[in-house]
């Protein structure tokens, strides 16, 4: 445990922000640099079969130290941090929470307030790692990496804990939905795995959104506004009309738990051309399909109203709810729950309002639920993680490895 915090802070300072506009894998050079650093560290602590490929996928093995046949177990985390917020020159800070505002940046007046983020009061008296208020922290998912590496190090130093073979992997570009694109499930060789990529202490996640993205292109007609009557087609107004026809309550800011949404991510254009991008999300596959059908019908309606080929829709499914792949092997959830309880933590099974590498990997033949890292407020300047929660995550990983051998 002594090196856990040091590892995390060292990792957090490396800029591994992914880039959706990049065509390379990994999408940014910092991810490969981080993977190279990790490969050297894994070799140093004594792991075997360390393999880093040209795409930034890093795998390694903790060999079995028991004589009986045990299923091969895996743990995964991702190298990149979100492109949603600044991540260069990350300066983590350790502060004890005393029930008051935590000052992140005195010069800019940035504070982590219990009034704005009441969850922080669950950790009064604990040491928290925070940002300096100008960047994200990167606990998503460098906390997961630090916890996995620390757990493997602990198991190597404690051979009295008998275990089967354990495989670990760190993947690039999870935040932009490409984390599993080039992942070799057969090469990884685990029968099941856990991503360490969740939130608050005690969380187990094996239900995630069904997900699609939609790109709407609108072709308008621009003429001089002084003679525009019955001629002009303002593509921006058509985009606004399209958005107004979607249910106003089904947006991220008005939904939680199992409720799905349409998320308008960006809009750009002028009178002649406008492009609108949406994310479509729902846990229930029937509701998911209804959302997609609604958008298709709206586009059809607008093309009837304004003329054929005025509105063009490209919609692509991104990933699906892993629940159907986890339920047939539900013993891996039972095992995680036992491990969490054994550490004096109350397990909480919650749905993921997003996706992880685990959702896609589950459909690729590697059942892969998600476990907590301990972090909060991901992708923002207000991100924080309690040190005690990180330590408990390490203990849970170690216990799962031990339970897997029994």
What is the residue range of 15's domain? 4-207+321-404
DSSP-based three-state secondary structure for 284: coil
253 and 361 share a domain? Answer: no
Q: Check residue 99 and report its DSSP letter.
A: S
373 and 259 share a domain? Answer: no
In degrees and rounded to multiples of 5, residue 382 shows phi and psi of -100, 15
C-beta separation of 173 from 179 below 8 A: yes
305 and 388 share a domain? Answer: no
Output the domain CATH number for residue 43: 3.40.630.10
Q: How many domains, the chain?
A: 2
Q: Which residues contact 348 (CB under 8 A, 6 or more apart)?
A: 200, 202, 203, 204
The residues annotated with a catalytic role in the active site are: 80, 174
State residue 1's pLDDT score: 81
Structure-block tokens of residue 116: 């704005």
DSSP-based three-state secondary structure for 118: helix
Output the domain CATH number for residue 311: 3.30.70.360
214 and 200 share a domain? Answer: no
Task: Give which of 143, 152, 123, 195 is closest to 5, Cα–Cα.
Answer: 143
C-beta separation of 309 from 235 below 8 A: no
305 and 327 share a domain? Answer: no
294 and 339 share a domain? Answer: no
Tell which of 257, 290, 319 closes a domain: 319
269 and 229 share a domain? Answer: yes
217 and 314 share a domain? Answer: yes
186 and 270 share a domain? Answer: no
- What is the residue-level pLDDT of the chain in tens, covering all 406 positions? 889 999 999 999 999 999 999 999 999 999 999 999 999 999 999 999 999 999 999 999 999 999 899 999 999 999 999 999 999 999 999 999 999 999 999 999 999 999 999 999 999 999 999 999 999 999 999 999 999 999 999 999 999 999 999 999 999 999 998 999 999 999 999 999 999 999 999 999 999 999 999 999 999 999 999 999 999 999 999 999 999 999 999 999 999 999 999 999 999 999 999 999 999 999 999 999 999 999 999 999 999 999 999 999 999 998 899 999 999 999 999 999 999 999 999 999 999 988 788 999 999 999 999 999 999 999 999 999 999 999 999 999 999 999 999 8
178 and 218 share a domain? Answer: no
């Amino acid at each position: 445990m002594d090196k856990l915090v040091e590892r995390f802070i060292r990792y957090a300072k490396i800029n591994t922000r992914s880039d959706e506009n990049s065509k390379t894998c990994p999408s940014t050079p910092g991810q490969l640099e981080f993977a190279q650093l990790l490969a050297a560290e894994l070799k140093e602590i004594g792991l075997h079969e360390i393999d880093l490929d040209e795409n930034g996928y890093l795998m390694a093995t903790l060999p079995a130290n028991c004589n009986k046949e045990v299923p091969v177990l895996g743990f995964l985390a991702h190298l990149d941090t979100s492109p949603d917020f600044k991540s260069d020159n990350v300066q983590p800070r350790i502060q004890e929470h005393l029930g008051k505002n935590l000052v992140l940046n005195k010069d800019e007046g940035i504070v982590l307030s219990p009034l704005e983020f009441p969850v922080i009061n669950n950790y009064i008296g604990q040491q928290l790692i925070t940002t300096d208020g100008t960047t994200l922290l990167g606990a998503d998912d460098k906390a997961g990496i630090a916890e996995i590496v620390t757990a493997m190090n602990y198991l190597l130093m404690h051979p009295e804990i008998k275990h089967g073979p354990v495989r670990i992997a760190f993947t690039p570009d999870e935040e932009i939905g490409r984390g599993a694109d080039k992942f070799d499930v057969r090469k990884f060789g685990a029968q099941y795995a856990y991503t360490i990529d969740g939130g608050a202490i005690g969380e187990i996640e094996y239900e995630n959104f069904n997900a699609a993205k939609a790109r709407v292109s609108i072709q308008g007609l621009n003429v001089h506004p002084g003679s525009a009557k019955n001629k002009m087609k303002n593509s921006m107004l058509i985009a606004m009309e399209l958005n107004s026809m979607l249910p106003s309550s089904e947006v991220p800011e008005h939904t939680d738990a199992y409720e799905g949404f349409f998320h308008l991510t960006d809009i750009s254009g002028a009178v002649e051309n406008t492009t609108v991008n949406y994310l479509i999300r729902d846990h229930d596959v029937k509701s998911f399909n209804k959302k997609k059908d609604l958008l298709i019908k709206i586009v059809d309606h607008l093309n009837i109203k304004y003329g054929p080929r005025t509105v063009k829709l490209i919609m692509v499914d991104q990933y699906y709810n892993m629940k159907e792949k986890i339920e047939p092997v539900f013993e891996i959830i039972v095992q995680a729950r036992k491990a969490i309880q054994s550490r004096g933590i109350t397990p909480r099974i919650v749905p993921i309002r997003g996706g992880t590498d685990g959702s896609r990997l589950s459909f690729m033949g590697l059942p892969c639920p998600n476990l907590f890292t301990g972090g909060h407020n991901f992708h923002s300047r207000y991100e924080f993680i309690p040190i005690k929660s990180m330590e408990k995550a390490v203990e849970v990983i170690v216990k799962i490895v031990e339970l897997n051998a029994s």
